[in-house]
Amino acid sequence: MTTAADQIIAALNAFVADSDSDTRNVRDLYDILGDTFQMLPVEDKIRVVPAMFDIMERAPDADLGSPGPLVHAIESLGIAAYEQRLIESVRNRPMYLNLWMVNRILNANTNTTERAPLLNLLRGVREHPLAANVIQEAERFLEHQEKCSEG
């Protein structure tokens, strides 16, 4: 039997970002997630998260919102529910939204031990073969985090 989570995952897997229409991308993603995602049990929401990161990785240059439906849905689960998958996503394919999410976690976390791996993740973007379009973004986030730790 297909569950609501399975239907959302299938729709996300079939989603193709339109590079010419940022409003259509956002609207379509809100339509896919809709109220159904919010009504899912937490364990089903967590099952949907990889499909959301997959969209980011498949469409790194598409406007998927700022932050948009994917980030809103993912972040609604709390950092512990998605942080590892976020790290994998950045390692697979750095793009604006996943880097932005790392920066948001860093903004909320003052524990030096927990921040270090995320800062190193941002630093690693410089060397990533698929990161040319977002190296400056990663550098900007690093600069911001360094200023925050100084003051």
For residue 79, the surrounding DSSP H or E stretch is: helix 79-92
**DSSP assignment letter at 60:** T
Give the N- to C-terminal CA distance of the chain in Å, as an integer: 54
Q: What is the pLDDT of residue 150?
A: 75
Q: Which regions in the chain score pLDDT beneath 70?
A: 151
Q: What is the pLDDT of residue 65?
A: 93
Q: Does the N-terminal peptide bond of residue 117 adopt cis geometry, omega within 30 degrees of 0?
A: no
Q: What is the pLDDT of residue 109?
A: 82
Spatial separation of the C-alpha atoms in residues 82 and 63, rounded to whole Å: 21
Q: What is the pTM of this model?
A: 0.93
Q: Which of 64, 66, 75, 56 is nearest to 26 (CA)?
A: 64
Indicate the burial class of 29 (C-beta count within 10 angstroms; 0-12, 13-18, 19 or more): buried
Q: What is the pLDDT of residue 151?
A: 61
Q: Which of 88, 85, 61 is nearest to 73 (CA)?
A: 85
Q: What is the pLDDT of residue 20?
A: 77
Residue type, 2: T
